[in-house]
Amino acid sequence: MKLSDSTESDEGIADYYEEVLGRRWLLSKRKIGKQLISFVEKHAQARGYTEVELNVNRRNPAYYFYLKSGFKVHQEINIPYHAYVLDDYIMRKTISLQN
Ligand SMILES: CC(C)(COP(=O)(O)OP(=O)(O)OC[C@H]1O[C@@H](n2cnc3c(N)ncnc32)[C@H](O)[C@@H]1OP(=O)(O)O)[C@@H](O)C(=O)NCCC(=O)NCCS
């Protein structure tokens, strides 16, 4: 996940989040995903950001989790990666001061 106009230290938090989600360390349906999203949003808000962004593969069921978490599809993107193409959505969520 990336924060708009993010700095190197923000990327550290974002990388940590991505590492945890991406490596399937989570046990499903335990609200851990929801808590991680909330953690990132609070961090972003504290730094004055108003939007967060992530990439998810278009066939990943996690897409529905992100929709439920308030993200919207911003763009479809096909990223060449060695012999493959990563067919992703870029999803964004506006974070309000009340969150
Ligand atoms: C996607 C993932 C992060 C969700 O985390 P989680 O801890 O299972 O989700 P939560 O328990 O916090 O669920 C929050 C809400 O989203 C819903 N939800 C979670 N996964 C869902 C899915 N695949 N489809 C639809 N809804 C889903 C839950 O039912 C819950 O709804 P509720 O608040 O009405 O009860 C987790 O399943 C995971 O790690 N998946 C494998 C790795 C992966 O693909 N990561 C994404 C990389 S881009």
pLDDT tens-digit map of 2-19: 665 666 666 666 666 666
Mean pLDDT of 31-43: 94
23 within domain boundaries: yes
| Gap between the Cα atoms of 24 and 2, Å rounded | 19
66 within domain boundaries: yes
Supply the Cα-derived Rg of the chain in whole angstroms. Answer: 13
pLDDT value of residue 49: 95
Least confident segment among 24-28, 50-54, 58-62: 24-28
99 within domain boundaries: no
Kindly provide the residue ranges of all beta strands, DSSP E only, lying in 1-99, ordered along the sequence.
2-3, 51-57, 72-81, 84-94
In one-letter notation, the amino acid at residue 6 is S
Distance linking the first and last C-alpha atoms of the chain: 18
User: Domain range spanning residue 19?
Assistant: 2-94
Q: Which residues line ligand 1 (CB under 6 A)?
A: 21-22, 24, 26, 28-34, 56, 60-62, 64-65, 68
60 within domain boundaries: yes
Note the pTM of the prediction, 2 decimals.
0.81
Q: Kind and range of the H or E element at 11?
A: helix 8-22
Q: Name the one residue in this structure whose structure tokens are 């911003």.
A: 74
Taking the centre of ligand 1 as the mean of its atom positions, its distance from the CA of residue 25, in whole angstroms, is: 12
Taking the centre of ligand 1 as the mean of its atom positions, its distance from the CA of residue 60, in whole angstroms, is: 11
Residue 38 has pLDDT above 70, yes or no: yes
Give the residue, by CA position, lying nearest to ligand 1 atom 5: 33
Mean pLDDT of 15-32: 64
